[in-house]
Chain A
Amino acid sequence: MRTSISERALDAIVSGVLWGFRILIVLAIIIGTVLAIRAGTYTRAQWIDFVIFGVAQGSIYALIALGYTMVYGILRMINFAHGDIFMTGAFGAYFTATWLTKIGFTDRYPVLGLMIPILVAMIIATLIAMLVERIAYRPLRGAPRLVPLISAIGASFFLEYSFRGIFGPGKYAYPPINALEGEWVVLGIGILKVHVVVMVAAGIMMALLYTLVMYTKVGKAMRAVSENQDTAALMGIDVNKTIVSTFAIGAAMAGAAGVLFSLVYRQIDWFMGFTPGIKAFTAAVLGGIGNIPGAMVGGLVLGVFESVGPSLFLEGLGIIRPYQLKDVIAYTMLVMILLFRPSGILGERLTKQKA
């Protein structure tokens, strides 16, 4: 009896602390925001810039997040190597784009000069993801859930250090596309051309993916398998093939995201998948892991929060050099969601059967 009373007391304390934490963060955001707006350090145009950068960044997160969420939906597994799949795509695109630029192709045909590296990145990422699935995940299907997770972390290290071994620890400069230098003016707002390309390309990819999942036979098979593998097999659906398709499609999205990311940040290296990977995972959890529209929304919300947040509520609180804390925003968000709303923005509650 006594233990149960003290346990209940402990529960109450924990829940009190959690509530305090939640209130504190909400207060900090509100106070910071009010102070920042009062201080008026930034102009309206600058705020708009922050938001646009956030949307561009967020659409890259969204593309990567789709792979996490789709694989989770079908296997209830976090594919920790997914960020590194993104990196392999970026490397494939780097070598293609560098060559295309060297022979003058990119300058003559900028649209193809953009699209060919994206295609190469998608193919390479897809092939590597299919290999990872075959070698590191499929043999462990049916094992306790921790086992494939450990294998995924192993696959992640394997990819990172293979690329480090082959291409060295240094950074490579991603070749710029000259036609994409400068800004376009849309509705009186100047937007970097690169950001427009990123948003449009990501938008097209996501629309394609959504159509595929909702309306094609493969997409419907993926949804059926994610609900119940045995019943899907009873329909005549090849479950293994469908799982491979899911990895492949998620990887293609990540590969494309790798190119868009490289266009914005202009440099690539063997470790570049790590941070965007965790951010995209956060986005997937934020939107409700397993939920495809959720991953898209989660990516955009996280991107904008990260971009606007430092100036909006961190600087307002008198924090110096708030931009260094932008990653903290993402990680704080991840912890907050896991604590307070594990189902995410659009997600359903994780039922026992699913967890």
Chain B
Amino acid sequence: MSMLTVNNVHTYYGSIHALRGINLTIEQGEIVTLIGGNGAGKTTTLRTISGLLKPAQGEITLEGDDLLRYKPHEIVYKGLSMVPEGRGVFARMSVLENLEMGAFSRNNKQEIARNLDHVMTLFPRLKERRTQLAGTLSGGEQQMLATGRALMAEPRILLLDEPSMGLAPVLVELIFDTIVQINKEGVTILLVEQNALMALSIAHRGYVLQTGEIVLSDKAEKLKSDPEVQKAYLGIE
């Protein structure tokens, strides 16, 4: 059974038809990337999967379980977490409190403590700054915090919305390395990116989204060498 399937999903904002029949499949253990230009519908796709938006039509299943039956906060309990666009850290809460919020869906104190240690080893910077208010962190640190916070829920699948946005190249590399490591530890990844080159270099497969529709899907290397993709998203003429 596939980890996540999105079948013919249509999502609207009022009368704006933002997703026009999206189909995606993600297998257990994969890194799949969803690339596309500004306004293509990437964020809308992730918000629909995580329950924040209700699709007008279509099906979304997580290991066969119909996700549309659940409220957004219930979906976390099913093993799906999302790092929202623009990180969405709780600015007036400390780094540690943000991470605690990430573990809101869990009760076992020992397991939570073990997860916290794990996140702190993934991102030593967060350990240094654990008592600091999240709003005072740099963009890169906030991205680490948002990612670490999502991991605190111990998800089986992690959705990331443009983790590289606004970050210096060194930091982008660090974040992407960590994504690969998280994946090696067994977490399935759906990565949304405008930085298509970086995304395709760590992903197994990719989908190309254009004005609310999937226009291409293939192995990541294939997409990387596709002339259309190169022209539109990789800046190669």
Please give the residue numbers on chain A whose beta carbons come within 8 Å of chain B beta carbons, in ascending order: 217, 220-221, 223-224, 227-228, 230-239
Contact = CB atoms under 8 A, between A and B. Distances in A.
B90 A234 contact: no
29 contacts: A220-B97, A221-B101, A221-B104, A223-B92, A223-B93, A227-B91, A227-B92, A228-B90, A230-B47, A230-B72, A231-B88, A231-B90, A233-B51, A233-B52, A233-B71, A233-B72, A234-B52, A234-B76, A234-B81, A234-B82, A234-B88, A235-B73, A235-B104, A235-B105, A235-B149, A236-B74, A237-B73, A237-B104, A239-B73
A227 B93 contact: yes
Nearest to A234: B82
Contacts of A220: 93, 97, 100-101
Interface of B: 47, 50-52, 71-74, 76-77, 81-82, 84, 88, 90-93, 97, 100-102, 104-105, 149-150, 153
Contact of B50 (A227, A232, A234): A234
Contacts of A239: 73
* B50, B73, B88, B105, most chain A CB atoms within 10 A: B73
A232 B84 CA distance: 11
A238 B51 CA distance: 13
Contact of A237 (B51, B81, B101): B101
B94 to A, nearest CB: 10
Nearest to B47: A230
A289 to B, nearest CB: 15
Contact of A230 (B52, B81, B105): B52
Given A228-B88, A238-B71, 18 more contacts: A220-B93, A220-B101, A221-B104, A223-B90, A224-B101, A230-B52, A230-B72, A231-B84, A234-B50, A234-B72, A234-B81, A234-B150, A235-B102, A235-B104, A236-B73, A236-B105, A237-B73, A238-B73
Contacts of B102: 235
A227 B73 contact: no
Contacts of B77: 236
A328 B92 CA distance: 36
A159 B11 CA distance: 41
A221 B77 CA distance: 16
Contacts of A221: 101, 104
Contacts of A227: 90-93
A113 to B, nearest CB: 40
A67 to B, nearest CB: 20
* A228, A235, A237, most chain B CB atoms within 10 A: A235
Contact of B153 (A223, A230, A235, A238): A235
Contacts of B74: 236
B84 A236 contact: no
Nearest to B76: A236
Given A220-B100, A230-B52, A236 B153 contact: yes
Given A235-B153, A236-B76, A239-B73, A217 B104 contact: yes
Nearest to B91: A227
A217 B104 CA distance: 8
Contacts of B105: 235-236
B92 A236 contact: no
A151 B101 CA distance: 33
